[in-house]
Amino acid sequence: MKKFLQSSIVICHFKGLDMNLDKKQIENIVEKVIQELSSGDQSNSTADSADSSDGVFQEMEDAIQAAVVAHHQLVQVPLATREKIIQAIRDVGWTHREEYGRMELEETDLGAVAGTVLKLETACGVPGIEDLSSEVFTGDLGVTINERIPVGVVASVNAITNAAPSIIHNGIMMLAAGNSVVHNPHPKTKIISARVIRDVNQAIVKAGGPPNCMTTVAAPDIPTAQFLMTHPKINMIA
């Protein structure tokens, strides 16, 4: 396919030109074609690099678009599978609570490992899908059914003092309702945040869920937070 593409571009450049060209002019045309091909290869490479299944992207736009796709896939998943997804998130937070606590302290130099561990243990116990049951009311005027539905893609801007706990806590609550989440962590928690999001996404996929239910960027900052909060595909800010 690449050889065909190269041949086609060369033909396009030469077709319709005056063929009374000297050697230097031909060399210039060939060089221009090669540059265009190289530019196209780089664009393809950039597009490929944006395709991430672990939830950590270089650009916030890619993180948001991936979360949009994940949301549409998540709402098609059976509720029984969604329960497994929520349990998988809990398992990640509980299993790695000591490690996450140490990583967060090392990166931020704030708080204590024991404090983060306690927050993670609390986050793992937040209600999930079991707290979202439907309600039915009957009366003289008929029947009313309250069915909770997802809002879509949620933006989560996380504080420096609650990096790992916020991701686990928000993940359980938001995914239980069928939403996906785009995180913009504090810049000083980017390492621990990326680690937790990778672990959670891997666990979700193993539980039968779609990839990129949680996303973030490798280098979060104020501009990425502003971009996230003002993006038209974001349905809620947490």
CA 163 from centroid of its chain's CA atoms: 16
Range with lowest mean pLDDT among 49-53, 103-107, 213-217: 49-53
Reply yes or no on whether the pLDDT at 16 is more than 70. Answer: no
**pLDDT for position 221:** 97
Angle of helix 113-124 relative to helix 97-108, nearest 10 degrees, comes to: 130
**pLDDT for position 113:** 97
| Other CB atoms within 10 Å distance of the CB of residue 38 | 10
Q: Token pair of 129, please?
A: 């899908």
CA 40 from centroid of its chain's CA atoms: 26
Taking Cα atoms as reference points, which of 222, 219, 106, 87 lies closest to residue 164? 106
| Other CB atoms within 10 Å distance of the CB of residue 5 | 11
Q: How many angstroms separate the CA atoms of 92 and 55, rounded?
A: 15
**pLDDT for position 42:** 42
pLDDT in tens, 37-96: 444 444 443 333 455 679 999 999 999 999 999 999 999 999 999 999 999 999 999 999
Beta-strand pair 135-139/56-57: unpaired
Please provide residue 7's backbone torsions phi and psi, each rounded to the nearest 5 degrees: -65, -40
**pLDDT for position 185:** 97
208 near 81, Cβ under 8 Å? yes
3-state DSSP assignment of residue 209: coil
Facing residues of 180 across strands? 153
Higher pLDDT, 139 or 27: 139
Q: Token pair of 19, please?
A: 């063929």
Beta-strand pair 142-146/135-139: antiparallel
Q: How many angstroms separate the CA atoms of 140 and 144, rounded?
A: 11
Helices and strands (H and E) in the chain: how many: 9, 7
Reply yes or no on whether the pLDDT at 224 is more than 70. Answer: yes
185 near 218, Cβ under 8 Å? no
pLDDT in tens, 125-176: 999 988 888 888 898 889 998 888 899 999 999 999 999 999 999 999 999 9
Q: Which domains does the chain have, with CATH numbers?
A: 52-237 (3.40.605.10)
Give me the mean pLDDT over the 200-208 stretch: 97
The pTM of the full predicted model, rounded to 2 decimals, is: 0.76
Range with lowest mean pLDDT among 4-8, 153-157, 217-221: 4-8
Q: How many angstroms separate the CA atoms of 35 and 22, rounded?
A: 20
181 near 213, Cβ under 8 Å? yes
pLDDT in tens, 185-202: 999 999 999 999 999 999
Range with lowest mean pLDDT among 112-121, 138-147, 177-186: 138-147
b/e map of 58-86 (b: 16 or more CB within 10 Å)? Answer: ebbbbbbbbbbebbeebbebeeeebebbb
**pLDDT for position 23:** 59
**pLDDT for position 28:** 64
Position 20: which residue type?
N
